[in-house]
Amino acid sequence: MSSRLSACALHRLLASTVRTGLVLAGLVLAGGAAHAAPASLPESASVALTFDDLPGIVLKPDQAYVEATNKALIKGLKHHHFPAIGFVNEGKLDEIIRARQIAVLQRWIKAGFDLGNHTFSHSSPNNVGAAGYIADIARGEKVIRPMMVKAHRNLQWFRHPYLETGSPEPVKAQINAWLAGHGYRIAPVTIDADDWEFAEPYDNAVMTGNTAEAARIRGVYLAYTERSIGWYRRASHVLFGRDIAYVMLLHDTRLNADCFEGLAAILARQNLRPITIDQALRDPAYRTADNYSGKDGIEWMERWSDTLKKDLPWSDYEDVPKGIVKEYDKLDSN
Ligand SMILES: [Zn+2]
């Protein structure tokens, strides 16, 4: 899961306050032109779909629920011929029934998807330091490395939990050196629609049989996701003057399984074609340096905005709806 961080929010708020005047002026200048644009598909672009926290995030440990979630997700991906990668927390294997959790991972591989390392215990370098974090990464490949080798695949991708990459700089450098020395490539994120925050309220609705609330959350989530994708595309145009090949962060949740057709429809409307993460990272944008060494878990558009000294369009950045945040916080504190 990612984290909502106050410093990050503050940054956005400040940027938005500074820019409000400019945006208002721009709207006046644009006049009615915005309304005259014909409804047509956006420019075509590509996106790598990445799912974190395998074998699944679930509000309460329920093996059958986890299995149904993964079965539906894999079915949706295969039906649409979408490539994908799943990032595993091996610490989750013992949270329910180990053999069946491992079988879930096996199903991803058998379906043709790669697995990546997401640390053993979903740790943060801010809490455990460089040495502790590196140990947690090493511990996170005990099951998946042999599994990948057996399937003649290369375990090469690492995704930082919370997108926290190490702070201060020497901590980040030590982690990066270990990753590179062990054949890992860092999986950046360039679309993050905060799906994890909707997922627990959704589990709660499903698990309590509240079908109306589950349907409402699916609707709110999909609408928010489509608006978020729009924002990241605008951010990409600010930084690079074009759509880059995006890497979208999603989580292995019942929400995404149940919303799969809705997500596929969004990608179709947005004219975004799913590709592998390996293909996405061939886009030269990913050669832009990530010099960020703060504690916040931020995605790569924000990191590159500092490198390239270009401001992101924070004035129209939209936060997760308050009702969802409130519901998540309530469930998370229990
Ligand atoms: Zn995660």
CATH number for position 264: 3.20.20.370
Q: d(Cα 202, Cα 129) in Å, to the nearest integer? A: 33
Q: In this structure, which amino acid lies at residue 114?
A: D
The pLDDT, as a whole number, for residue 39 is: 65
Measured in whole angstroms, the distance separating CA 298 from the mean position of its chain's CA atoms is 11
The total of structural domains in the chain comes to: 1
Is residue 9 a part of any domain in this protein?
Answer: no
Is residue 24 a part of any domain in this protein?
Answer: no
Tokens of 135: 């140990």
Using the mean position of ligand 1's atoms as its centre, give its distance from the Cα of residue 77 in Å: 20
Using the mean position of ligand 1's atoms as its centre, give its distance from the Cα of residue 37 in Å: 39
Q: Place 7 in a pLDDT band, splitting at 50, 70 and 90.
A: very low
Is residue 29 a part of any domain in this protein?
Answer: no
The pLDDT, as a whole number, for residue 8 is: 43
Is residue 293 a part of any domain in this protein?
Answer: yes
Q: Place 41 in a pLDDT band, splitting at 50, 70 and 90.
A: confident
Using the mean position of ligand 1's atoms as its centre, give its distance from the Cα of residue 70 in Å: 16
Using the mean position of ligand 1's atoms as its centre, give its distance from the Cα of residue 118 in Å: 7
Is residue 36 a part of any domain in this protein?
Answer: no
Is residue 328 a part of any domain in this protein?
Answer: yes
Query: CB of 243 within 8 A of CB of 236?
Result: yes
Using the mean position of ligand 1's atoms as its centre, give its distance from the Cα of residue 140 in Å: 13
The pLDDT, as a whole number, for residue 334 is: 80
Is residue 58 a part of any domain in this protein?
Answer: yes
The pLDDT, as a whole number, for residue 72 is: 98
Domain limits for position 310: 42-333
The pLDDT, as a whole number, for residue 32 is: 39
pLDDT at 5 over 60: no
Using the mean position of ligand 1's atoms as its centre, give its distance from the Cα of residue 52 in Å: 5
Using the mean position of ligand 1's atoms as its centre, give its distance from the Cα of residue 85 in Å: 13
Task: Indicate the pTM of the whole model.
Answer: 0.89
Using the mean position of ligand 1's atoms as its centre, give its distance from the Cα of residue 43 in Å: 31
**pLDDT tens per residue, range 105-126:** 999 999 999 999 999 999 999 9
pLDDT at 248 over 90: yes
Is residue 14 a part of any domain in this protein?
Answer: no
Residues that place a CB less than 5 A from ion ligand 1? 1, 52-53, 161
pLDDT at 31 over 70: no
